[in-house]
Structure 1
Amino acid sequence: MTDAELLIILNQALPSRAFLMLAPQGFAEPYLIYQRIWWGPENSLCGYMEGDHVRYQIDSYARTHKEAAANMDAALDALRASSDPPNVENGGDLYEQDTKLHRVTVNIITWFDPQGVTP
């Protein structure tokens, strides 16, 4: 799954409210943010498997915890319904004092083929 493919899926859950890394300045919540937090080659006993293991962090921001959690549930439903659903790893709930926003976060793990074909 590429960044662009993930954006398409997240926009199914929250249309025009998903962004890579940062929401535009002054953009009103709720919204989803996603970013690659780790990637690396996948190897087997035969060597490189022509695919990279990718971990994304997805954050749902909203004024209330209930709304942030509901938007994350919608995002996870869209991911699980995709043709190649990722593994959902761990998550958490946070309140950010400086922005006064609730954040629900999860990590997902998927694959990316640098040659353009998802394994």
Structure 2
Amino acid sequence: MIQEQLQAVLAPLVAGRSYPNLAAQDAVAPYIVYQRVVSVTNNNLLGPSDLQNTRVQIDAYGKTYASVQQIAASVRLAMQGAAFTNVQLSEQDFYEIDVRLHRVSLDYSIWST
């Protein structure tokens, strides 16, 4: 399952503080939240194939802009070395005023079986 593979790739980057879909209520920055945006099954003339394309959003949170940029760079490197095929589609910076944290949102297209 791609979520388990993502957890294995992302957790070491933030001392295990990576969460699927939503951060823990008491999450301490830095941390990563990842979620599946859309997953498309590929079909061929014989029907569904084992190959699946999943778009994933990975959000890195940190107390400073510099720290969150460093986490984002680590995410990019980790994804390049991942055992599954992936392509980075976009990246955007935010400041989350509610929690007073900087956020970098990275969007990936992942191909897996």
| Same fold (TM > 0.5) | yes
Tell me the alpha carbon deviations over residues 4-61 of structure 1, each in whole angstroms, 9 at most, x when there is no partner.
Answer: 0100000232231111111211121110000001111123455433322100000001
Asked if structure 2 preserves the Cα contact closer than 8 Å seen for 1:60 and 1:103, the reply is yes
Question: Which runs of 5 or more structure 2 residues have no equivalent in the other structure?
Answer: none
My pick for the range that moved more, 77-86 or 55-64, is 77-86
**Residue 10 of structure 1: SS of its match in structure 2?**
helix
Asked if structure 2 preserves the Cα contact closer than 8 Å seen for 1:13 and 1:75, the reply is yes
Match of 1:115 in 2: none
Q: TM-score if structure 2 supplies the norm length? A: 0.89
Percent identity, aligned pairs only, is 28
1:97: how far off? 1.4
Q: Which of the pair is proportionally richer in strand? A: 2
Counterpart-to-counterpart distance in 2, 1:2 and 1:15: 20
| Aligned pairs for 1:1-119 within 5 A | 2-44=2-44, 47-112=47-112, 118=113
Measured on the aligned residues, the alpha-carbon RMSD in Å equals 1.6
